[in-house]
Structure 1
Amino acid sequence: MKSFFKNKAILSGVFMMIFYQIIMIGVFTSGYSAVPKNIGNLSVAIVNEDKQYGMEFAKQLEQELPFQVQTDTDLKTAQQKLEDRDIHLIMHIPQDFTQKLSAPDQQVQLDYYINQSNPATTNSTVQNVVTQITEKISTQLQTSGIEGVLQNMKMSEVQAKEMAAGIVNKVQANVIDSNPQPAGMHNQMAPMFLTMSSYVGAMIYSMMAIGALNQLKGKLGKWKAFLSLQGTNAIISLIVPLIGLSIYFAIHGYGAGTFVHLWLLHALELFAAIQFTSIFCLLFGQAGMMLNLPFLLIQTIANGSVVPQVMMPGFYKAISHISVMFYTVQLDYNLLFGGGRSAVLLLGLSLIMVSALALNTVIHHFKPYTKLSTGDAPQPLFM
């Protein structure tokens, strides 16, 4: 046993076990602590068109709801923000809200708009908000507060009490879902797993590809080897995503058009991920994996598939802006279920890819190499 405990391979394995526990538990504990702590960062828009009790009720909701409440927007603008995921719920108070409350034979309908093309955390939270708001209205209508409002509308105290008692359960929640997700948790989690599978593969491949570059650049020449590698990366990026997408679409298909769009998106993601993870491999060789692995785990939080960007702790929110996985996951939501700002997200992913490629070019430029003469043996792939 002593011989094994002194063996460098055993010691390296123990180090990796400890290292992986530290980064995984540290990342997940700090990242997921945002739920439910940061739920208050979600945005709710209250669009009120009633100039009587609706105004009073909207003001009370703005003060009491534990969310970022917007009341200065019209319904059309709010719907576009909902599509773009800038807000997460719209509550629409109709123009005849007070009128129907005061009519004994009519029921009040409040419209709630929810964009289902969001992480499960967001969807479950806003569904609870709808229930809470509707219950709050029913409770409030039973209190003396509504009696006072009705008295201010020049009703007698007796009439106000009778009407307040008679309008319990008059309010009905009308939930209007946009971009619904197909049934099945595999669909809900598809953006995360499609993206992560490509990124993990790219991370492992980049270490091997840089090893091949170091082996061949002495034989082919510094820049010919580098450009040949980038051409190889591009071809691989086009072909490899077809495998995973074919498996997923065999289980749940979305049509040929969606398949092609997802294929091209994940080809771009794979190429961007190869470039991004190659930065550390070019700088530190195989030791670059010690940086790539933590960054992968950080992106499981920062990609926005479980915790929306607005709820992320500050560190993860900052990382999301330079995360290949974040932009890909959000675009997957758009392509599979629907959503807005696709052009902005695609631009963000493209900028990361171009920036990483440029940085790799600069690093490669300053890396020394020795040109092999004819008959020289190539260097081993891994030292």
Structure 2
Amino acid sequence: MEVLSKFLKSNGVLLASLVTIVYGVLVFFIYFSGYKPLPTHIKDLPITIVSTNNQNNELQKQIKTSLKSFKHVNETSNITSAKKDLRNRETFMIVEIPHNFTERVSANKQANLNFYINDANQSLVVSGLKNIANNIGTAVNTGIMLQKSKAIMSKAMTQQLMQNNQADLAQAQAQIASLPASQQKAATQQLEQQQAKQQAVVNDKVNTAFDGVDNSVKTNIKEVNKISTGINNSMAPFFISLASYLAALIGTLLLYGTYVKFTAFNGRFKSFAAMETAMLILSIFGGIIVTLTVIPLTSAKWDNFLAVLVAHSLEFWGAYNLNAVFILLLGQIGAALNILLTMLQVVAGAGMVPVQIMTPFFKGIHALSPMYYSIMSDYDLLYGNGAYSLWLGALSIIIGYLVLNSVIVYFKKKQPMLDFSKLA
């Protein structure tokens, strides 16, 4: 019991208790607040309505009204420009009203209502937008059905009144009454049969008119940058970027131990330069391994091999240097803070939540996350048309972390090394 009592009162157990409390609360809070925008804040994403025919103005107004809960609804007649915005994530869904939409509906023919959604986005966002597209299509179809029903019923009732006017009926009944009693029953039956035939004619006309009304509008969802079915495919950019970052986190800790050992004989500046060179080499090596893994698994094009390699090499290099900040400042204990940074980047990296609907805190830090640039690059390079605009941002933060680490090495003359045996 004495040994157990001393063990429980040791610094190691106290620190472990503190970590349990802090991480248990903080990690929950990070995810709880970070994923709060989903799914309700999907309506904060920009939507574009495209129409090229003035005859469709009434429907365009109806669709805009159905999208009134969305904060940003743009209207244009240029589908090419809208598709470009969709690929650049400046809009997240296009509702296209075809030029001949009103003409086909008026002719009682099925008309398409087209929805363009960029599959190369967060899976929850894509599925949410597809549900919204189906709801809009159903609402439009219902509205058109009601309009047609009014016209059809009005026409059918007019025909029925003309065929079954009261004067003719009264005259027929008077003639039956003037007949001998033995003939009235047969005459009455004959009149009822005539009325039934007339009603059948009316019913046939109504059924013919209603034919196709329940399918007046077809919701046609067109997937841009289509991703293979399965959440493993839609989440692949997030999974591979997180795996790469975790590898860099552990790698930084191991490289720091070698750095400390070398500073004793070669000085901290030469050792720091050697560590950074090793980080660069490992980043390229890691980028090759990741690229050779992710391209075949996602059935992406090998044409983008070099682009994916550069994107993930930049992520590795940025991750090494970001994790090195706290390690150089605090030694191995800095790894605890690096784990916290990783948890923050799970949200800020935009693998699950688009930047446009993030809470202010995560929106503010997303640009500092190496994971953000690799995740968004993967969505474009693995499933899109190939975009390299994010490379400059990734390189900028790497330079920033390099400068910061250089300053730390310059002022930090002693390299802390944690001796876990002293925690007792």
Provide the TM-score with structure 1 as the length reference. Answer: 0.86
Distance 2:120 2:7 in 1: 52
Distance 1:102 1:8 in 2: 81
Task: Confirm whether residue 101 of structure 1 aligns to residue 147 of structure 2.
Answer: no
Distance 2:46 2:77 in 1: 13
Task: Confirm whether residue 335 of structure 1 aligns to residue 381 of structure 2.
Answer: yes
Distance 2:5 2:375 in 1: 48
Amino acid at match of 2:413: P
Structure 1 residues 179-229: Cα deviation after superposition (integer angstroms, max 9, x where no partner) = 111233322221111111111121222233234323322421232111111
**Structure 1 pair 73–205 and aligned structure 2 pair: CA distance change class (3 A):** farther
Aligned to 1:57: 59
Aligned to 1:375: none
Distance 1:174 1:183 in 2: 18
Task: Confirm whether residue 287 of structure 1 aligns to residue 312 of structure 2.
Answer: no
Distance 1:259 1:239 in 2: 14
Q: Secondary structure at the match of 2:342?
A: helix
Distance 2:79 2:293 in 1: 41
**Structure 1 pair 237–295 and aligned structure 2 pair: CA distance change class (3 A):** same
1:37 is displaced (CA, Å) by 2.5
Aligned to 1:360: 405
Distance 2:139 2:324 in 1: 54
Distance 1:5 1:94 in 2: 73
1:254 is displaced (CA, Å) by 3.3
Aligned to 2:15: 12
Q: Is the 8 A contact 2:332 2:417 kept in 1?
A: no
Aligned to 2:253: 207
Q: Is the 8 A contact 2:240 2:290 kept in 1?
A: yes
1:46 is displaced (CA, Å) by 0.4
Aligned to 1:120: 123
Q: Is the 8 A contact 2:47 2:91 kept in 1?
A: yes
Distance 2:389 2:308 in 1: 17
1:382 is displaced (CA, Å) by 4.1
Q: Secondary structure at the match of 1:17?
A: helix
Identity of aligned pairs, percent? 29
Q: Which moved more, 1:19-28 or 1:55-64?
A: 55-64
Distance 1:111 1:83 in 2: 17
Aligned to 1:197: 243
Aligned to 2:93: 89
Distance 1:80 1:97 in 2: 23
Q: Secondary structure at the match of 2:402?
A: helix
Q: Is the 8 A contact 1:142 1:164 kept in 2?
A: no
Q: Which moved more, 1:20-29 or 1:185-194?
A: 185-194
Amino acid at match of 2:268: K
Aligned to 2:324: 278
1:247 is displaced (CA, Å) by 4.4
Structure 1 residues 333-381: Cα deviation after superposition (integer angstroms, max 9, x where no partner) = 11111156x3321111111111111111122222225xxxxxxxxx895
Distance 1:71 1:345 in 2: 28
Distance 1:31 1:380 in 2: 34
Aligned to 2:139: 136
Amino acid at match of 2:28: I
Structure 1 residues 12-64: Cα deviation after superposition (integer angstroms, max 9, x where no partner) = 22222222211211111111111123111122110012212x21222232233
Task: Confirm whether residue 78 of structure 1 aligns to residue 82 of structure 2.
Answer: yes
As a proportion of its length, which structure holds more helix? Answer: 2
Q: Is the 8 A contact 1:269 1:349 kept in 2?
A: yes
Distance 2:241 2:364 in 1: 19
> Which of the two has higher C-alpha Rg?
2
Q: Which moved more, 1:76-85 or 1:342-351?
A: 342-351
Aligned to 2:39: 36
Aligned to 2:197: none
Q: Secondary structure at the match of 2:222?
A: strand
**Structure 1 pair 345–107 and aligned structure 2 pair: CA distance change class (3 A):** same
Aligned to 1:372: none
Q: Which moved more, 1:217-226 or 1:298-307?
A: 217-226
1:300 is displaced (CA, Å) by 0.7
Aligned to 1:374: none
Task: Point out where structure 1 has 5 or more consecutive residues left out of the alignment.
Answer: 151-156, 370-378
1:128 is displaced (CA, Å) by 0.7
Q: Secondary structure at the match of 2:38?
A: helix
What number of residue pairs does the alignment pair up?
Answer: 365
Distance 1:17 1:72 in 2: 54
Distance 1:381 1:292 in 2: 16
Distance 1:244 1:347 in 2: 21
Q: Secondary structure at the match of 1:34?
A: coil
Superposed CA RMSD in Å reads: 2.8
Aligned to 2:194: none
Distance 2:299 2:214 in 1: 46
Q: Secondary structure at the match of 1:35?
A: coil
Distance 2:10 2:122 in 1: 46
**Structure 1 pair 119–339 and aligned structure 2 pair: CA distance change class (3 A):** farther
Q: Is the 8 A contact 1:303 1:320 kept in 2?
A: yes
Q: Identify the match of residue 26 of structure 2 among 13, 23, 27.
A: 23
Distance 1:35 1:13 in 2: 33
Q: Secondary structure at the match of 2:95?
A: strand
Task: Point out where structure 2 has 5 or more consecutive residues left out of the alignment.
Answer: 159-205, 420-424
Distance 1:140 1:362 in 2: 66
1:75 is displaced (CA, Å) by 0.8
